[in-house]
A and B are shown apart, each in its own frame.
Chain A
């Protein structure tokens, strides 16, 4: 079944297509290929053998009974190859289809790269398609709104300057009923690390800030949070194709840490944010690596447990299973530390199969969940394979150290009636750690 049989109405896509002309598409595409794409794209296009081994690597392909239009090579064929073959001389409807495929049927999870005999990074190719769609103004409404939020507020949820620090102070107050001398230090120059989170935490998951503060307080950490924009480590502009706003967000994030003279940035349990900070946004700004070291919570919790700064009073009753978030497992190689942490804090682990760098994506990442309600069913139907994988473990709890993964997995757990609980590492550590300072 091709994309023309599964088109979905979206106000952003419709609005964008309506404003296009074939001339504008061709001109924009040709400028993009000439100005922003070099040997990498050409190499991938010219070396793909059309062997189809990437197909079974994709959760959409697996979830749609091997429909070749959902195979990574099928999606590239329907987008970049079609555009290259026509030198961009296509009509607006093709761009709409390209956008639907690129934004909602590929999570940029890079699993297929591991199955390609030549290591072709399909996610990169799809990212170029998204860049084109951004330049043409054909983007799903909700992710575009999120990119707008990044541009105006430097966070993804329109959180205003005062709402940020007010939320932190509120959580500090809440936590002091449990730890009377707990602080969420704001703007404290020279701390060991700056803790950064994504905007959903101050917006509606404030308990995660409480939990992190309780863990850092108990561990005796020397830490701070910024009192200025630059606190949000998420970056949907990276996924909408707006590289310029992506760069602006990452500049503020790193310069906030540099201004505070911290040694490193510790990031909450989010995968895509890690990708933006560790890999993509920093490089767009001209740095080869991150200008301030960035540490994902998996690694930081591992340190706290390994150094005995946090001791568990009890273990979470298991067994549990582990979901490996793409951006910190395939992207950073934290699979061993994740397992060591989970085994330390939980009573037994049943591994999903496959797992680690071959784990299936949650189907929310890559900005797909940010495309909003019109595409919710695309994510859910497109990840039946993940539901099957979860169900096969036979366990009641899944640990997923990533916000987007929680969003995606919650939806399939509910839809496929899996009856599982989802947990962050921080949920369990906070709940089961020794709390010598608590009243």
Chain B
């Protein structure tokens, strides 16, 4: 991950590049992506019939490919894209394609610090993960739900370990799915195995299961819990305690199970998107205390503020929580610690906390223009497009990354640039 302290935090605005420029003479340029530090803007550029490259700050890559998609900056600032030449796919990182190519490649993933890059691959009809260009030794008939540990040291996926005939419902119900970690499947097979998730150290893996068409559960490192549920959502590890948390449905209501015991009684019409603070002391989730009414529950205590839809739960290190509430994808509100901000927007992105948890900033959109809201105060300038805000390490400044009239601007502001 880039060291945020080394970024330019001097208040002011700089035009980084004109996104319309590409010295290669592009026929068209696709939607822009920006680096975490706001120093680079990149887009796929078509430079001829079936000829594509990436253009960053107006400079095209030297390599030209038959196809490019999914350009993304890694957390450490490297520019990646999925590329195809002569029918073979691979990942290009800062203009350098991985040596090994595949029949298909997709789903780029990064370790938390960006030092490790992985992608899902298919080769000769077999599926797995490639990490920094090296595919798993063991590939599978099918693989989905790929995951990479925070430190990038391990990858996992839901994998099919037995073949199925046409409409082979009997074999399916005996179980043909498992979880593979670094290319090696668990011994146990299940009717379904979904959503593998790593612990903080990247050593343990939990997954959601279907034991039969009717019994759902959770397994940790291949060992199923004793508990059975009417349904489950994805399990996650508490980063401090290592406990596995999973929403489970019991007699039509959802609760939160922790290490095979129901910790939050099943009383919710819905419960999902479980999140933790790094110290593990605060557990939060999006919940529906009753049908049609959603909010956030922190340590099993729901906020009073409710919305028809709640998304984008975010937790600060100090335990503060924020989410988006909307009226079915309209009139987006930002709700922080149960208090709803005054502004309403046509669209909003995941709230971002400063490291100390004191400030919250959110990218919002209204009437086709985007800007950043800080603690319910709106930045004065609205952009044609913009990207989620970033706080300085001390939380006292906000990096705004926006594009207007084709010009990508990197703006560092203090809180006084925002107004109610």
Interface residues of A (CB under 8 A from B): 11-12, 15, 35-36, 134-135, 137, 141-142, 144-145, 148, 151-153, 160-162, 165-166, 169, 173, 176, 180-181, 183, 185-188, 190, 227-229, 242, 244, 247-248, 251, 258, 261, 263-264, 285-293, 372
4 smallest A-B Cβ distances: which pairs? A288-B292, A286-B270, A162-B104, A145-B167
Asked if B210 and A151 sit within 8 Å, CB to CB, the answer is yes
Interface residues of B in 97-150 (CB under 8 A from A): 103-104, 106-107, 120, 122, 127, 142, 144
Min CB distance A376 to B, Å, is 15
Asked if A285 and B270 sit within 8 Å, CB to CB, the answer is yes
Asked if A137 and B213 sit within 8 Å, CB to CB, the answer is yes
Asked if A288 and B231 sit within 8 Å, CB to CB, the answer is no
Q: Which residues of chain A come closer than 8 Å to B330, judged between CB atoms? A: 293
A161 touching B106 in the complex, CB below 8 Å, given contacts A153-B144, A229-B144, A244-B216: yes
CA A162 to CA B192, docked complex, whole Å: 20
Q: Which residues of chain B come closer than 8 Å to A227, judged between CB atoms? A: 69-70, 106-107
Asked if B346 and A180 sit within 8 Å, CB to CB, the answer is no
Q: Which residues of chain B come closer than 8 Å to A180, judged between CB atoms? A: 49
Q: Is the C-beta of B187 less than 8 angstroms from some C-beta in chain A?
A: no
Give the nearest-CB partner of B172 in chain A: A148
Interface residues of B (CB under 8 A from A): 27-28, 30-31, 46, 49-50, 67, 69-70, 103-104, 106-107, 120, 122, 127, 142, 144, 160, 167-170, 172, 177, 191-192, 210, 213-214, 216, 230-231, 249, 251-252, 269-270, 272, 288, 291-292, 294, 308-309, 311, 326, 328-330, 346-347, 349, 365, 385
CA A144 to CA B270, docked complex, whole Å: 26
CA A2 to CA B328, docked complex, whole Å: 47
Asked if A35 and B252 sit within 8 Å, CB to CB, the answer is yes
Give the nearest-CB partner of A248 in chain B: B231
CA A181 to CA B49, docked complex, whole Å: 9
Which one, B70, B160, B269, contacts A286 given CB within 8 A? B269
Min CB distance A44 to B, Å, is 20
Which one, A166, A242, A285, A290, contacts B328 given CB within 8 A? A290
> 20 extra interchain contacts, Cβ-Cβ under 8 A, other than A152-B192, A244-B216?
A15-B169, A35-B252, A141-B167, A145-B168, A148-B169, A152-B142, A152-B144, A161-B120, A161-B144, A165-B69, A166-B104, A228-B107, A248-B231, A258-B311, A258-B329, A263-B329, A286-B292, A287-B308, A287-B309, A372-B167
CA A169 to CA B67, docked complex, whole Å: 9
Min CB distance B33 to A, Å, is 10
Min CB distance B158 to A, Å, is 8
Asked if A286 and B288 sit within 8 Å, CB to CB, the answer is yes
Asked if B192 and A151 sit within 8 Å, CB to CB, the answer is yes
Q: Which residues of chain A come closer than 8 Å to B104, judged between CB atoms? A: 162, 166
Asked if A190 and B70 sit within 8 Å, CB to CB, the answer is no
CA A64 to CA B312, docked complex, whole Å: 54
Which one, A228, A247, A287, contacts B231 given CB within 8 A? A247
Give the nearest-CB partner of B347 in chain A: A261
CA A185 to CA B71, docked complex, whole Å: 12
Min CB distance A155 to B, Å, is 11
Give the nearest-CB partner of A247 in chain B: B231
CA A296 to CA B122, docked complex, whole Å: 34
Q: Which residues of chain A come closer than 8 Å to B347, judged between CB atoms? A: 190, 261, 263
CA A437 to CA B169, docked complex, whole Å: 48
Min CB distance A396 to B, Å, is 36
Which one, B169, B191, B272, contacts A144 given CB within 8 A? B169
CA A258 to CA B325, docked complex, whole Å: 12
A183 touching B291 in the complex, CB below 8 Å, given contacts A264-B329, A292-B328, A293-B328: no
Which one, B27, B28, B106, B230, contacts A162 given CB within 8 A? B106
Min CB distance B28 to A, Å, is 6
Which one, B46, B70, B169, B249, contacts A186 given CB within 8 A? B70
A181 touching B106 in the complex, CB below 8 Å, given contacts A142-B167, A186-B69, A244-B216: no
Asked if B213 and A242 sit within 8 Å, CB to CB, the answer is yes
Min CB distance A267 to B, Å, is 15
Give the nearest-CB partner of A134 in chain B: B213
Asked if B107 and A288 sit within 8 Å, CB to CB, the answer is no
CA A256 to CA B50, docked complex, whole Å: 29
Q: Which residues of chain A come closer than 8 Å to B216, judged between CB atoms? A: 244
Give the nearest-CB partner of A372 in chain B: B167
Q: Which residues of chain B come closer than 8 Å to A161, judged between CB atoms? A: 106-107, 120, 127, 144
CA A144 to CA B144, docked complex, whole Å: 21
A135 touching B311 in the complex, CB below 8 Å, given contacts A187-B70, A293-B329: no
B69, B104, B127, B326: most-surrounded residue (chain A CB, <10 A)? B69
CA A266 to CA B249, docked complex, whole Å: 31
16 A-B pairs, CB-CB below 8 angstroms?
Answer: A148-B169, A165-B106, A173-B50, A186-B69, A187-B69, A242-B213, A244-B230, A244-B249, A248-B231, A251-B272, A261-B349, A285-B270, A287-B292, A287-B309, A291-B328, A292-B328
Min CB distance A34 to B, Å, is 10
Give the nearest-CB partner of A183 in chain B: B30
Min CB distance A210 to B, Å, is 17
Min CB distance B104 to A, Å, is 4
Min CB distance A401 to B, Å, is 24
Give the nearest-CB partner of B66 in chain A: A173
Min CB distance A138 to B, Å, is 12
CA A411 to CA B252, docked complex, whole Å: 40
A160 touching B142 in the complex, CB below 8 Å, given contacts A181-B27, A228-B107: yes
